[in-house]
Amino acid sequence: MPTTLPVPLLQRRHFLLGTFASNCSSGMSVTKVPERWQNSWANNLALARMLDDAGIDFMLPIARWIGYGGETNFHGDVLETVTWATGLVAHTRQLTVFATTHTAANHPVVVAKQIATIDQLGQGRAGLNIVAGWNSPEYEALGLKLPPDHETRYAYAQEWFEIVQRLWQDPGTFDWQGEHFQLKGIHSHPKPYGAMPPILNAAGSGLGREFATRNANFLFTPAIDLDRSKDEVAELRAAARAKDREVGVLTFSHVVCRPTEQEARAYLAHFGQTHADWAAVDNLVRLQFAHAQSFPHDLLALIRDRMAAGHGGFPLVGTPDQVARGIISLAEAGFSGTTLSFVDYVLEFPYFRDTVLPILRAHGLRDA
Ligand SMILES: Cc1cc2nc3c(=O)[nH]c(=O)nc-3n(C[C@H](O)[C@H](O)[C@H](O)COP(=O)(O)O)c2cc1C
């Protein structure tokens, strides 16, 4: 098999749309409402088939090993992402499915082969989201020590990814003598189906962004203040170009789309305020402050409501026209795409598909 076959996701020139966190209990909404997302395999499969038929570009999972507590133990129930992606790729035709991998918990030789296997199965539709680590209690749960400094975390991630890359590209057998890995006589076959699978990284810190602009096809970052996002996206793209690379910047959004704005706002208040799982929200915010810089800390304190409604995602709330305008504003800020989440993805996606996608097509934002 030649290694130059194009990668389907990287061929797409329109504004990318995906879903995020459907493998996790409650998805992106830290809420107690009884209709909160059930992350069953049946629901994920139903969603994937609908997304595939509608021409949506990708699905992205969250890798998590312990929940956030609160009344619902938010994200306490999580489908493991490599096995989840394998199943979904087998049941779809055009959708790219990412697996999310913690570098410290997964050996690079194992991951290179896992992703290559999914990519063979899906003929180029596997993606890899690399997590260099941030959530200390989660590492303690696994008996791992998360290095407190970003230098060590990202140096480890860099060496880890260089091994994965080499295994995907090198036709022969090689030894690796690095700082963190000493490997003897390694090789990996099969290779990915075509060119390298798309790489995603969601770092917020300076060193993390250095890692992302050096290695990833897409950097994932919150959109909180779109004026600020414009500068941020421009800076990230410039940082990648300085390394002779092109990096797309993606964000994540939470959708509440209803025939009237009043209905949408009333439902947002219902699940994301009155019935939010505030104890879990506070744990989430506390851990973000303590260990990560993915949300700028000056803004994090201001977005407790957004953390409840959509894990800090950009709010797309209102009529189909208002939701479409929100997505257009993300494109105008320079983003290459966004993920979508819903309180109940399977129930709510069809209305979005039937009403919002045609508006985006009419604006030239989407081919499908
Ligand atoms: C959109 C988004 C998706 C992420 N997905 C995961 C994930 O699935 N699992 C995880 O442990 N961390 C995840 N993270 C955390 C990041 O990968 C990263 O570790 C975190 O932002 C800390 O990096 P930093 O200290 O460089 O900011 C995500 C972050 C963002 C913003």
Q: Which of 128, 104, 111, 161 is nearest to 9 (CA)?
A: 128
CA of 261 to the centre of ligand 1 (A): 32
Is 368 inside any structural domain?
Answer: no
Q: Which atom of ligand 1 is nearest to the CA of 81?
A: 8
In 152-272 the beta strands, taken as DSSP E runs, fall at 174-177, 182-186, 199-201, 218-220, 248-257
User: Which residue's CA is minimally distant from atom 4 of ligand 1?
Assistant: 202
CATH of the domain at 13: 3.20.20.30
Is 227 inside any structural domain?
Answer: yes
Is 135 inside any structural domain?
Answer: yes
Quote the pLDDT of residue 314: 96
Quote the pLDDT of residue 287: 85
Quote the pLDDT of residue 301: 64
CA of 259 to the centre of ligand 1 (A): 34
CA of 98 to the centre of ligand 1 (A): 14
User: Which residue's CA is minimally distant from atom 28 of ligand 1?
Assistant: 202
Is 120 inside any structural domain?
Answer: yes
Is 367 inside any structural domain?
Answer: no
Cα 16 from chain centroid? 12
Is 103 inside any structural domain?
Answer: yes
Quote the pLDDT of residue 180: 96
Give me the amino acid identity at 240.
A
Q: Which residue has the tokens 């957004």?
A: 306
Per the structure, the complete domain to which residue 263 belongs is given by 8-362
CA of 55 to the centre of ligand 1 (A): 26
Under 8 Å CB-to-CB from 140, ≥6 apart: which residues? none
Residue in 106, 128, 131, 211 to alter for ligand 1 test, most ligand atoms within 8 A of Cβ? 131
Residue-wise pLDDT tens digits, 245-277: 999 999 999 999 999 999 999 999 999 999 999
- Which positions of the chain have pLDDT values less than 70? 1-3, 291-295, 297-298, 300-301
Residue in 84, 97, 134 to alter for ligand 1 test, most ligand atoms within 8 A of Cβ? 134
Quote the pLDDT of residue 136: 85
Is 220 inside any structural domain?
Answer: yes
Give me the amino acid identity at 215.
N
Pocket of ligand 1 (CB under 6 A): 62-64, 100, 131-135, 150, 202-205, 208, 220, 222, 252, 292-294
CA of 294 to the centre of ligand 1 (A): 6
Q: Which residue has the tokens 């851990």?
A: 287
Name the 3-class secondary structure at 113: helix
Is 3 inside any structural domain?
Answer: no
Quote the pLDDT of residue 188: 96
CA of 203 to the centre of ligand 1 (A): 6
User: Is it true that the peptide bond before 190 is cis, omega within 30 degrees of 0?
Assistant: yes
Quote the pLDDT of residue 79: 98
Quote the pLDDT of residue 15: 98
Q: Which atom of ligand 1 is nearest to the CA of 251?
A: 1
The structural domain count of the chain equals 1
CA of 208 to the centre of ligand 1 (A): 10
Quote the pLDDT of residue 4: 77
Residue-wise pLDDT tens digits, 194-212: 999 999 999 888 999 999 9
Quote the pLDDT of residue 304: 87
